[in-house]
Amino acid sequence: MTDAMGKRVAVVTGASAGIGKAAAGALLEQGWRVIGVGRDAGRCTDAEAELAAIADADFTMLRADLSLLAETARVAGEIAACAPEIDALLNNAGGVRAERVVTAEGNEATFAANHLAPFLLTKKLMPQLKVAAARGAPGAVRVVGVSSTGHEHCPAMKWDDLTYAEGFTGGAAYCHAKLANILFARELARRAGPDGIVSHAMHPGVVDSNFASHCDAPMQAYMESIRDRANTPEQAADTLVWLASADEPGLTNGLYFYERLAITPSPAAQDDDAARRLWEVSEALVACY
């Protein structure tokens, strides 16, 4: 119990829609205090009204474009100012783009939003996570990243071309970032585990959400073709919420889950040397923020 009202505190990115909103709602129903982060002003307003209507909800919505590191650092500061202790950080926000976009900060937008933002946000909020871990039961503090089985289609990190200047497709860039998510979770477990912080990644399954709204036409067509087999955001959020709040995930560290079961990621996602290298490269890329 970490806030003044005795509630556990969770931060959920991408909380304005889809899996993130569903996860935020589920945690609020469990009695957590939840701080959500969203990008689109209209969706944030709608989500805030919906989630605040949950009985006894303690919900705050903050806005930030997580494809920009300056925005990510800013919102991290706002979160830290209102939450001295954080029990769970759910790095859920992400997405895929139809075209290659390089941000004003020089990063490929898919890699920035899906990997660099959660890396920077976690780094900035580490003091709050450590305080909660020092006061709580072993394994109670969690950082959970939303990855995808798409990582299996990326054989290795593109160390010499992280901005995807060559051979860009939206799907390939997305799979590259999802591989980074698992490597980050693995290395975070190694580095933060001694402080009592648990780090896991998960695959949400195919989800009927606004995920494909910025995809290219072939991916949008594919997503529409499997829509009748897709999980609802609430079904997909079940494992995410379980990883953040249940006792069992706190007994392990650095794993990858689907439907509450630990599964084996690709060989590239189990490469500890790559995980360490990605951490070092990411630290350099976010150093100015």
- The residues annotated as belonging to the active site are 174
d(CA 132, CA 126) in angstroms, rounded, equals 10
Instruction: Check: CB of residue 25 under 8 Å from CB of residue 155.
Output: no
HSE on the CB side for 89, CA within 13 Å? Answer: 30
Strands 261-263 and 256-258: antiparallel
Q: Phi first, then psi: give them for residue 90, nearest 5 degrees.
A: -105, 100
**What residue type is assigned to position 226 of the chain?**
I
d(CA 85, CA 134) in angstroms, rounded, equals 10
d(CA 114, CA 66) in angstroms, rounded, equals 8
d(CA 245, CA 219) in angstroms, rounded, equals 33
Rounded to 5°, the CA angle 219-221-227 comes to: 100
263 membership: H or E segment, kind and range: strand 261-263
Pick from 233, 234, 244, 228: nearest CA to 211: 233
Q: Could you give the 3-state DSSP secondary structure of residue 35?
A: strand
d(CA 247, CA 268) in angstroms, rounded, equals 29
